[in-house]
Amino acid sequence: MAERSKTTGIKNWPSDDRPREKLLKKGPGALSNSELLAILLRTGTAGVSAIDLARKIVEKFGTFRNMSHTDMRQWKELKGMGPAKTAQIKAALEIGRRFREDEVLSVKQKIASAKDVVNIVMPQVRDLKTEVFKVVYLNSNNRIIDISDAAAGTVDHAIPIVREIIHAALQKFAAAIICVHNHPSANIAPSPEDKKFTQELTTAGKLMGIKVLDHIIVGDSNYFSFADEGMI
């Protein structure tokens, strides 16, 4: 697409060059990241069109993944990006993330290895600045019933988390579970608390007839599996 003057509004462009019209005519796959963002933004700011503002966002963050886990301070550095426009982009990114979750759950994907779980959960947790727990609930054929957040807390407060996880598994009629949590430091080595938590969860699972198949720690682009390491 030819470069346009920053003082030229999108409404004055040829219809084939306008992002919204281009999407309707050629489909969303024909649009660049900047053009997709411009549709969300709808308008720019004084002297800057929506597409120019979108380009600045792409230049700043690089990828949609990088945009996912940001705070308002980073967006305020971009002239024309107020709370409303930032919320629109963050909402769209969250819709994309949930779409992927729904896609996985709709086919009741069968889990055969730690890697299968990592491929699903890693995009959700690897960029978070705080530690979060997710639990994958499986039926007797190791197919996914649900993936949800565990009770609030960290491995430093493992007892209430263990109780909540097992209780949820019973409610969902799950035969087995896999726990996943991230290490924001990107160091995937299990801490003493991680090991204690895993042991307590496994013991509780045996008492209640719930198999604990694995506990996976996710870093930036790697992971640690208690099962793969023979620790569960």
Cβ contact 212:177 at 8 Å = yes
Which residue type is seen at 124?
A: Q
Cβ contact 39:19 at 8 Å = yes
Q: Rounded CA gap, 43 and 202, in Å?
A: 54
> How far is C-alpha 156 from the geometric centre of its chain's CA atoms?
24
Q: Rounded CA gap, 204 and 3, in Å?
A: 62
Ranges of each domain in the chain: 10-101, 110-225
Which CATH code, of 3.90.1150.10, 3.30.70.260, 3.40.140.10, 3.40.50.2000, is assigned to 110-225?
Answer: 3.40.140.10
Q: Rounded CA gap, 134 and 97, in Å?
A: 15
Q: Rounded CA gap, 121 and 91, in Å?
A: 19
Beta bridge partners of 135: 148, 179
| Annotation: CATH topology of 10-101 | DNA polymerase; domain 1 (1.10.150)
Per-residue pLDDT of the chain (232 residues; tens, 9 = 90+): 444 444 445 565 555 458 888 888 888 888 899 999 999 998 888 878 888 899 999 999 988 878 887 888 899 889 889 899 999 998 998 888 777 766 655 556 789 999 999 988 888 787 777 888 899 999 999 999 988 888 544 555 545 689 889 999 999 999 999 999 998 888 999 999 999 999 999 999 999 999 999 999 998 889 999 999 999 9
